[in-house]
Structure 1
Amino acid sequence: MAYLTVNDGVKQFATFRALNGVSIAVERGEFFTLLGPSGCGKTTLLRAIAGFNDLSSGSIMLDGKDLRAIPPHKRDIGMVFQDYAVFPHLSVFDNVAFGLKPRKVPAEQIKTRVAEALSAVHLQALAERLPAAMSGGQQQRIGLARAMVINPQLLLMDEPLSNLDAKLRIELREEIRDIQKRVDIATIYVTHDQEEALAISDRICVMSAGHIEQIGTPQQIYGDPQTLFVANFVGTLNTLVAGEGLSRLLADLGLGRAAAHWTVRPERLSLVESGATAPVGAVVVSGTVNKFTYLGREAHVLVDTAAGPVVVQVSNPALGAVRNPGDTVSVLFERNALMAFDADGKRLSLEG
């Protein structure tokens, strides 16, 4: 039995159904991420677990207890918000201690637990400071320490890094993951940032339009997407254009099955010398460079081919590796790099 389960969760708002039969299972100590675009239902699901919005129907169980029967303030859940939600008039220490006082924790224990929580988020030296004079990253650490200090059964995080700059987001997401591993609290994390989800999650639940598209490890979600939505939303995707050029490419690769969509990731394509012989299970297609984008550790080359325009990702491009618009190039397509989807966006086996 999983530690937290949501079964067939439905949330209806007047004329809008925000959740349409959502079911998830989260294990003890797991970092479980809800990933999807704005309006997909991920925050609605998180708020239902927290008790801020009850489900219209369905069940939520935490460690054998029916959460829907427990008032929000008695659910023993820590919550970290997007907007920090710190009290500007209270010191860092008093902000973190805030949730312990209603629980009648003795003063000495409060001191010890707050000190431990501040140490975990590297703020022990700033205990007496007021948050107003602190950076966004430090304020978010206060929110994290306050959520953890109550020793909750479950930690919920609603886009906690979205208000921070890119560099700080990367630093803090690593710290959040390290802290979560150390304290071993089951955590549900909401984000729309695919890279963030891939970097910190044990498993990812990709959502769209109130339902679940796929649940899996980061490797499964990125490397083996089961729907076209997941393939498009997580990572960059080339969609090949139907026509004679694509038909010839598929025939040369021995891919005879019918599919509504044929796709390939940019990093699964490569540029090869003109006239190069393709290895077994691959085909070389000539094309013309449309655009070259240098990104430091990689470059993206947009190539017009008979199967449609494709972006080819070049890793560690040398200083002299610039391709100019109009250059003729050869693109290597490998059979096992292609992904096929039906008209409903469901993944198809290449062996079918």
Structure 2
Amino acid sequence: MAYLTVKDGVKQFTGFRALNGVSISVERGEFFTLLGPSGCGKTTLLRAIAGFNDLTTGSILLDGQDLRAIPPHKRDIGMVFQDYAVFPHLSVFDNVAFGLKPRKVPADQVKTRVAEALKAVHLEALAERLPAAMSGGQQQRIGLARAMVINPRLLLMDEPLSNLDAKLRIELREEIRDIQKRVDIATIYVTHDQEEALAISDRICVMSAGHIEQIGTPQDIYGNPQTLFVANFVGTLNTLKDTEGRAKLLADLGLHTKAAHWTVRPERLSLAKAGEPIPSRSVAVPGTVSKFTYLGREAHVLVETAAGAVVVQIANPAYGAVRNPGDEVSVLFEHSALMAFDADSKRLPLES
């Protein structure tokens, strides 16, 4: 049995169902991320596990125990919030030690455990400082140390990096992942940031409108999305219009699936060079450049084709390799790069 299981979780508010039969399982030591847009139910699910909001129906088991029968303060769950939630009038040490007092931990153990927690988040030299004089990243480290110092059975993190700037988010997410690996604690992490989820998760649960779209490894979620929602939400996606140009492209590629939606990721496309041989099971479609966006490590070229407008991603664009609006180009489509979805937005196998 998995370490944590939520089965058929339903949360009904007045006139609104936030969770609609959600089931997940999390293993010991796993970093499990709930990913989705605002209002999809991910924070509602996290709060139900923490005990802040009980489920309407369904079960939550942690290491075989029924969590719904245990008050929140007795669940031994560590929680890291979006807004840091530090006490400004207490020192860093006292902030971290706060959760140990109601547990009646002996003073010598408090000192040892707080010191270990502060060392883990690189704040041991700032133990006596007040949080008001510290950066947002440092304050979030306090929150992380406070959650870990109680030796929780489970660690919950609700968008802990969303209030930080982009560079600090990247630095701190890597630290969080490193710490989680060292302490080997099951962690459920909530975010709406796709890149963040891909970078730190063992598995990702993509949610939409109160239900689960797909659960899988980062590679599964990005490389093998099972619904159109997942494909669109995680990463960038080109959707080919239902035109004669699309029909010709599919015929030339030998694709016969009766799909409602045909898509392809920008990095799976390339611009064919004049006179260059076309690989087997590939087709070059002529088009006109309408926009060129240089991003340093990559460039995006928007090309108008008979199959619709598509973005082509160029990795490591050479200096000066600019495409100008109006340039005539050919976009190379590979047979295996296309993804097909039915009218219900479910993934279809490619048939040829």
Distance (Å, rounded) in 1 between the aligned partners of 2:185 and 2:256? 49
**Alignment-mate amino acid for residue 257 of structure 2:** R
**Alignment-mate amino acid for residue 330 of structure 1:** S
Q: CA deviation at 1:294?
A: 0.1
Q: CA deviation at 1:351?
A: 2.4
1:302-347 Cα distance to aligned partner (Å, 9 max, x none) = 0001100000000000112100000001111000000000011000
Answer whether contact 1:276 1:284 (CA < 8 A) is retained. Answer: no
Q: Report the equivalent of 2:176.
A: 176
1:218-262 Cα distance to aligned partner (Å, 9 max, x none) = 000000000000000000000001110000000000001211000
Q: Report the equivalent of 1:28.
A: 28
Q: CA deviation at 1:104?
A: 0.6
Identify unmatched segments of 5+ residues in structure 2.
Answer: none
How many equivalent pairs are there? Answer: 352
Instruction: State how 1:135-284 maps to structure 2 within 5 Å.
Output: 135-284=135-284
1:117-139 Cα distance to aligned partner (Å, 9 max, x none) = 00000000000000000000000
- Percent identical across equivalent pairs? 87
Q: TM-score, normalised by structure 2?
A: 0.99
Answer whether contact 2:32 2:188 (CA < 8 A) is retained. Answer: yes
Q: Report the equivalent of 1:294.
A: 294
Answer whether contact 2:256 2:351 (CA < 8 A) is retained. Answer: no
**Alignment-mate amino acid for residue 131 of structure 2:** P
1:77-125 Cα distance to aligned partner (Å, 9 max, x none) = 0000000000000000000000001101000000000000000000000
Extract structure 1 runs of 4+ deviating beyond 4 A: none
Q: Report the equivalent of 2:44.
A: 44
Answer whether contact 1:277 1:284 (CA < 8 A) is retained. Answer: no
Q: CA deviation at 1:272?
A: 1.4
Q: CA deviation at 1:28?
A: 0.1
Distance (Å, rounded) in 1 between the aligned partners of 2:261 and 2:319? 36
- SS of residue paired to 1:97: helix
**Alignment-mate amino acid for residue 227 of structure 1:** T
Q: Report the equivalent of 2:120.
A: 120
Identify unmatched segments of 5+ residues in structure 1.
Answer: none
Q: CA RMSD in A?
A: 0.6
Q: Report the equivalent of 1:131.
A: 131
Q: TM-score, normalised by structure 1?
A: 0.99
Answer whether contact 1:117 1:145 (CA < 8 A) is retained. Answer: yes
Distance (Å, rounded) in 1 between the aligned partners of 2:284 and 2:320? 23
Q: CA deviation at 1:278?
A: 1.4
